[in-house]
Amino acid sequence: MPMSVDEIHRVLRTVDDLRYSAGDLDAALRRIVEATHKVFAVDGAGLMLIDPEQLLRNVAVSDQRVNDLEALQIEHGEGPCVDAFEDKVMTDSDDLTRERRWPMFSPAAVGRGLRAVLGSPIPYNQYAVGVVVVFSSEVRPWSLEGKLALIAFTDLAALTIANTMQSQQRGELAEQLQHALDARVVIEQAKGVLVARDGLGEREAFERLRRQARDQRRRVADVAAEVVRAAAGHAPTGGAAC
pTM listed for this prediction: 0.86
pLDDT at site 86? 92
User: Using an 8 Å Cβ cutoff, are 221 and 181 in contact?
Assistant: no
Under the banding of pLDDT at 50, 70 and 90, the label for residue 238 is low
pLDDT at site 12? 79
pLDDT at site 138? 96
Question: Domains plus CATH for the chain?
Answer: 5-165 (3.30.450.40), 171-231 (1.10.10.10)
As to burial, measured by CB atoms within 10 angstroms (0-12 exposed, 13-18 middle, 19+ buried), residue 13 is exposed
Smallest CA-to-CA distance from 58 within 188, 176, 203, 149 is with 176
pLDDT at site 236? 55
pLDDT at site 239? 54
pLDDT tens, 198-227?
A: 999 988 899 899 899 989 999 999 999 999
Torsion of Cα atoms, 214 then 218 then 220 then 221, to 10°:
180
Strand partners for 136: 116
SS3 (DSSP) at 121: strand
Under the banding of pLDDT at 50, 70 and 90, the label for residue 15 is confident
User: Using an 8 Å Cβ cutoff, are 168 and 76 in contact?
Assistant: no
SS3 (DSSP) at 80: helix
Smallest CA-to-CA distance from 119 within 151, 144, 95 is with 151
User: Using an 8 Å Cβ cutoff, are 131 and 48 in contact?
Assistant: yes
User: What sign has the CA pseudo-torsion 199, 210, 166, 18?
Assistant: positive
User: Using an 8 Å Cβ cutoff, are 48 and 70 in contact?
Assistant: yes
Count of C-beta atoms within a 10 Å radius of residue 78: 18
| 126 has pLDDT over 90 | no
CA gap 150, 3 in Å, rounded: 13
**∠ Cα 181 182 184 (to 5°):** 60
pLDDT tens, 63-116?
A: 999 999 999 999 999 999 999 999 999 999 999 999 999 999 999 999 999 999
pLDDT tens, 163-194?
A: 888 876 678 898 999 999 999 999 999 999 99
pLDDT at site 2? 57
